[in-house]
Amino acid sequence: MAFQLFIKKKTSTNHSFFSKEIDESKIILQVNNEKYHKQLKLIGFTKQDLRNTYLLQPFIKEKIDDITTFFYQVIAENEQLMEMINTYSSIERQKKLLTTHILKMFNGALTDDDIQRMYQIAHRHVQIGLDEKWYIAAFQNLLDVILSIVSEHFQSIDEFLAAAKSITKLINFEQQIVLEAYKYEYEKIRKEMEKEKEFFLNHIQETSKQLASLTEESKNFLEEINAQTKELAEIAIGRYELAASAEMEAYNGKKELQHQSELINLINKRTDDIANKMNSLEQTSAKINHVVSIVTSIAEQTNLLALNAAIESARAGEYGKGFAVVASEVRKLAEETKNSVLGVSNLINEIHNQIDSISASITDVTKLTGEGSKKMGEMIQFFDSVLKLIDNNKEQSEKTKTELEIFVKAIDDVTKNVGHISDTSEQLKEMAKNI
């Protein structure tokens, strides 16, 4: 909607449109800030300019929907601006706000409140992240469309120039306010960023100091752990060697016990053999004793026969003397046989008693060797358990040694990393100084 300046009638210095009578009390230029007075004076903005824009208000009000629609059609061509509007508001809401703002621009008044309102609008745009270049470009589009609409109502170039000057001055002053607001907000943001930067730097330096101190303590602590771990590894190795030595001793002890057990079993077997032979001897003694009993009985009968023969020889007189001598000798022989057999019987009884005694001893020995053999079996089982425990301990010691070696390596790696952290801390401090 570009506008063109054209002359349909002869130019005139008589601004008849702007000479209309109005309620002059509605034209208010009340700006108390000296700085803004100077800015208005610099662009030549007076109450006459406010009067002129007030007279233009009906044209603006008539076309306000076209103005806002055109304004946001241009905005819609920029995806970044549309995304920003949709994030924080909506097109319809912005059109209503723009309508209110434009009509106030042409209400014939410029006060401190109006300047504050302009300032607040710029402040909100800074907060949502709208760059000042887009804001200024938007003002230019707004100026173009307003001038185009106003140009349709003037036949005189002078009148149109008067309208354009007043409109341009008004928008120029608002642009100054906007730029000042942007500058103020940017300066405020810069100072906040400076504060954050200073806080960040102080925090970095303090963190670096703490990190360096903590790193040094960690390094010392890790070195101590490393030394203790190596010592534990050496202890684990010694423990492994002791377990291996104990295993060998236990194995030898078990082997010796097995040998002793075999000897006891052999003794037990030999004792059983002796007991069996003693039983056989006892049986033989019983048989001899039986024979002795028979011989004793025969001797007693022989002695009785000899006695009877002597009696009979005495009856025979002279004829029986020779037979009496023989009977006497037989009697003596029977007595000697009886005495001898009695001695053998006594010896057999004594042997029998000895056999009983030896049998009792052998029984005790058998009992003792049986108990010893049982104890030996229990000792062998004990040594088996000891060997199993030693073997488990040996395996555990081997695992402990391996794990400690891995742990020592890990501690070494951590110590190196702590050293890297210390270097990084120093680099961080240097970077903080250079920020």
Fold identical between 21-153 and 217-291+341-434?
no
Q: Residue 3 has what pLDDT? A: 46
CA–CA dist 57, 34 (Å, integer): 28
CA-based torsion, 191, 194, 200, 202: positive or negative: negative
382 pLDDT above the threshold of 90: no
Domain ranges of the chain: 21-153, 217-291+341-434
What does the mean pLDDT of the chain come to?
79
The model's confidence at residue 246, banded by pLDDT at 50, 70 and 90, is: low
Q: What is the CATH number of domain 21-153?
A: 1.10.490.10
Q: Looking at residues 381-410, what average pLDDT do you find?
A: 75
Question: What is the rounded average pLDDT of the residues 316-321?
Answer: 75
pLDDT of residue 233: 67
Do residues 220 and 422 lie in contact, with contact meaning Cβ atoms separated by under 8 Å? Answer: no
DSSP SS3 for 330: helix
User: What local confidence, expressed as pLDDT, does residue 2 receive?
Assistant: 46
What is the C-alpha to C-alpha distance for residues 422 and 210, in angstroms, rounded to an integer?
A: 11
For 225, the 3-state DSSP assignment is helix
- pLDDT value, residue 242: 67
**What tens digit of pLDDT does each residue of 137-174 get?**
888 888 999 999 999 999 889 999 999 999 999 999 99
pLDDT at 348 over 50: yes
For residue 4, pLDDT beyond 60: no
What is the share, in percent, of the chain residues with pLDDT greater than 70? Answer: 84
* 28, containing H or E segment: strand 28-30
In Å, how far from its chain's centre is CA 193?
Answer: 38
Distance CA 48, CA 40 (A): 13
Residue from 78, 84, 74 nearest 128 by CA: 84
For residue 15, give both structure tokens.
Answer: 């601004």
Measured CA to CA in angstroms, residue 117 lies from 44, 161, 174, 179, 412 at distances of 22, 28, 10, 14, 67
Does the pLDDT value for residue 6 go beyond 70? no
Strand partners, 111: 30
pLDDT tens digits along 101-147: 999 999 999 999 999 998 888 887 777 777 778 878 888 888 999 99
Q: Among 6-15, 72-81, 341-350, name the one with the lowest average pLDDT.
A: 6-15
Burial (CB count within 10 angstroms: exposed 0-12, middle 13-18, buried 19+), residue 158: middle
CATH of domain 217-291+341-434: 1.10.287.950
List Cα–Cα distances, 49 to 27, 36, 145, 278, 304, in angstroms: 10, 16, 19, 155, 192
